[in-house]
Structure 1
Amino acid sequence: MTPTIYALLRALLAPEDSMHALKALRPVADASGRPLIRRTARFAEAEIVWREERWLLAMPLAPVAISAVERIAAHLGTLRSEWLADYRLLREEMRYEDAAGTHRRCDMVLQHLPAGRTFDEALDTEPCDTLLAALDALEEELRRLDLSHRNLKAENLRWHRGRLIPIRYHYARTGFGADAEALGALRDLVRRRAGGGAQPRVHDTEAAYSSGERFAGHIWTGNAFEQLVCVEDEAGYGYVDLQNRPVIPAQYLWADDFREGRAAVTLHDGRMGLIDKTGRYVIEPRYEIVEYDPDTNRTLVRHEGLWAEFDYEGNRTSDFAPRSRIPETENEGINLK
């Protein structure tokens, strides 16, 4: 059971009643005073002011959202770098009421927002060579840290004291090398701006919401991953192709983006499964949590509190046991797409 965006709105309006550590937060609001909330693939997030600094507060939209960031949040806490911003997992931070009226608590992710400017603002003010050097420096620091962000784009970078600081570490993993394509796209963007061309928009928010009639007719439109776009309609979440033609019907309570040909989905009764790009269940929707890792092509599932591992084809490769007894797997996936 996860809270709704409305529950987050209520918590932001009355944090003293709903939050634990963040009782004194102030939400960043629009002109009418309504907190600004943005939905991403796995979280609903809002900017807040806490302890006189700006933070990004992210609420999970599905159980997999928190389980997917637990390890990286713990790992990031061990790293020391001027290129990383504080990223915390706050256990049972927000109190909310579910559809049955039961009081519950959920974990939240808190991300510090470095003072400074957005990447787009830096494009308008900083020399091309300065930004290219900053991207090179960021790449070298990720190499030193042996870390891949895996979601580098304009909206996830802040220009701060001569550095480009990445934020939103929800997809980050240990191991360097997964950001080469994204860094190349950012360098191309900088060079095109230096050449005087119109500024291309590469970040998901504008790519999704400035698409005009291309993705019209949906409550919410995600980003293109592997030629499919996750959308929300009245019946739930589903997928369309890049021409907005239905591929997998809107039928899920929640759906993740496709990575390496697989996506985790949640049915309206709360059960989770794993599908391929035709909508076929690779792992049947009968589990409490389905946690797919595209780096290794393996999936961890939880059933009645115990965990088991499945391979890329949906074959169970371990017995159900406490999660601590499921061995870690190195990045040896088959990298199918």
Structure 2
Amino acid sequence: MALSIYNLIESVCNPAGRFKTLREIGVKTDEKGDPVFSYSGTTISFSVVWKGRSYLLKCSLREEQENTLSWRRIAAYLQRIRSSFLVGYYYLSGEMLVFNDRGAAGYIDVVLMEYPDHMQPLDEFLEKACMEGDKERIRKLLTEFCQMAVWLINDNLVHGAIRASNVMIDKDCSVHLVNYEYMQMPRSDAPDYESIRDADNVMVANLALGIKAVASDPAAFRYLRGNAIFRFPVVRSPLLPMFADVAREAGCEPVLRIVEMLSCSNHTLHGRLALSEALRKLSGDRTELGVDLSVKLANERRPSAAEPDDSDARREEYLLNRTQLQSFYCWVGPVCESLICVRKGDLWGYVDCSGNEALPLRYEWASDFMEGRAEVMRNGCYGLIDKTGKEILPAIYELVEWNSERGIAKVACDGLFGLCDRDGKELVPFIYRWMGGTESRFVMTMLMTLRMERHWSCAAGKVTRSTCKAVRRRRPKSRPRA
């Protein structure tokens, strides 16, 4: 039975007589009284309370036998292993009564997943700890995260969607994975098992590097949050050489080993045992990567930043203005294209070189302007703005990476990647499950067909509509299995 979001909302908001087991369920609402929910693909997740505990109620807009069997198998498997790194995940067959737009009624299967209020997503936990400069809590988190990653690797369990939003942190810094819809069973014969497993490897390695970096310099979080290292696998990240340099200078062998594996992985990371050993060593490593790491990250992100005039008078004026700004704002960035990124409290915005507000402080995070564009975050989502504050890409995306040199933005929505130009026009459709960096002449992509086949393609030279269309017309061939 095909359903709309509103059909599901109607049942969840009016639970009397609609549930078989979850009869006492109640949906959480926002300040406007609307139900709190999120969606990814065809799965809708409602924030609910049942018997005094918080959960996510997961429903599918389409009753597909393959998805139903997958959810059932995953729930049954999780009931058997019961690890402290996982949360309760319960499959309820024919649980909720729903009416479609034509008035036809039917019972649908749902999943109930524990989602305690006292837990925070990894990036939110880190943001608070970094703002407070709480290195001890971040170090404890690094230990817990590495222990979770070692367990995941050694148990041959494939989560399938590891990212900061799916890693929850408790008050005691313990780590819990959530959202298991893409999970693969150990020794699975699924055709894409190896590629999903390798993507998990890349992501835990990226997250471990990011946590280690902010444990040394909490100010680095501001740059790493705007970089995909905290959100999506970035094997060929331009930050990897910098991480290698600081690890070599500090004598941090585990970080250097992880960077080497990522740098040589060619979009996948097969060496699970080697990665497990590196993460095990990293969990107990207390080597500082350097307190000036945030400065190095700022320089990496700003290849052609405007510098103050070399004259003594101009330099003195520049330093004076900056000192005045720092007394008013808790974060003051460099001058980039005549604008300065600043933060006051929890909000980010921009001022001009005279200290006057140029763009209001209304963002949860903001980057420096490069070639007239800047990445911003609102309501936990990313967008792209110009110097007038106009939204080139609205803040509704999971990822926006602006490449000022090539004039393109890598964008992700509902876990699928695409490319947009500097004006927000779509160059490559949002159909790819993975997309490489845009720094080189090639943009590598991975497309999953309905038959779960992997197809790879790349565009050479300058990325334009014509080169992207040429790639789409070309019939890709599946890579041979290693």
Q: Report the TM-score, using the length of structure 1 for normalisation.
A: 0.66
Instruction: Name whichever of 99-108 and 170-179 sits farther off.
Output: 170-179
Deviation at 1:273, TM superposition (A): 10
Deviation at 1:242, TM superposition (A): 4.4
Work out whether residues 229 and 242 of structure 1, in 8 Å CA contact, stay in contact via their aligned partners in 2: no
- List gaps (5 residues or longer) in structure 2: 130-135, 187-196, 233-376, 385-390, 401-409, 435-445, 458-470
Aligned partner of 2:169 in structure 1 is 159
CA distance in 1, matches of 2:102, 2:185: 40
Deviation at 1:210, TM superposition (A): 2.2
Deviation at 1:3, TM superposition (A): 2.2
Q: Which structure shows the higher helix fraction?
A: 2
Kindly provide the amino acid, as one letter, of the partner of residue 39 in structure 1.
Y
Work out whether residues 85 and 114 of structure 1, in 8 Å CA contact, stay in contact via their aligned partners in 2: no
Work out whether residues 132 and 187 of structure 1, in 8 Å CA contact, stay in contact via their aligned partners in 2: yes
CA distance in 2, matches of 1:203, 1:239: 13
> Are 1:215 and 2:226 an aligned pair?
no
Aligned partner of 1:200 in structure 2 is 225
Deviation at 1:188, TM superposition (A): 2.8
Work out whether residues 417 and 432 of structure 2, in 8 Å CA contact, stay in contact via their aligned partners in 1: no
**Relative to structure 1, is the Cα distance of residues 240 and 215 closer, same or farther in structure 2, using a 3 angstrom cutoff?**
farther
What are the equivalent positions in structure 2 for 1:1-337 lying under 5 Å apart?
1-62=1-62, 63=64, 65-114=67-116, 116-118=118-120, 119-123=122-126, 124-125=128-129, 127-160=137-170, 161-175=172-186, 178-194=199-215, 195=217, 196-197=219-220, 198=222, 200=225, 202-203=230-231, 209-212=381-384, 213-216=391-394, 229=412, 240-243=418-421, 244-246=424-426, 258=433, 260-264=446-450, 334=480
Deviation at 1:45, TM superposition (A): 0.8
Deviation at 1:72, TM superposition (A): 2.0
Matched positions, count: 267
Work out whether residues 208 and 223 of structure 1, in 8 Å CA contact, stay in contact via their aligned partners in 2: no
Secondary structure of the 1:78 match is: helix
**Relative to structure 1, is the Cα distance of residues 256 and 206 closer, same or farther in structure 2, using a 3 angstrom cutoff?**
farther
**Relative to structure 1, is the Cα distance of residues 248 and 179 closer, same or farther in structure 2, using a 3 angstrom cutoff?**
closer
- List gaps (5 residues or longer) in structure 1: 232-237, 250-254, 265-271, 283-311, 314-332
Kindly provide the amino acid, as one letter, of the partner of residue 181 in structure 1.
V
Secondary structure of the 1:146 match is: coil
Kindly provide the amino acid, as one letter, of the partner of residue 447 in structure 2.
G
Deviation at 1:165, TM superposition (A): 0.3
**Relative to structure 1, is the Cα distance of residues 172 and 6 closer, same or farther in structure 2, using a 3 angstrom cutoff?**
same
Q: Which structure shows the higher strand fraction?
A: 1
CA distance in 1, matches of 2:117, 2:16: 26
Kindly provide the amino acid, as one letter, of the partner of residue 209 in structure 1.
C
Deviation at 1:87, TM superposition (A): 0.9
Identity of aligned residues (%): 20
Deviation at 1:104, TM superposition (A): 1.6
Higher relative contact order, structure no. (Cα contacts within 8 Å, ≥ 6 residues apart): 1
Secondary structure of the 1:55 match is: strand
**Which entry has the higher C-alpha Rg, 1 or 2?**
2
Secondary structure of the 2:145 match is: helix
Secondary structure of the 1:17 match is: coil
Q: Report the TM-score, using the length of structure 2 for normalisation.
A: 0.48
Kindly provide the amino acid, as one letter, of the partner of residue 139 in structure 1.
A
Aligned partner of 2:339 in structure 1 is none
Secondary structure of the 1:38 match is: strand
CA distance in 2, matches of 1:146, 1:239: 27
Deviation at 1:177, TM superposition (A): 5.5
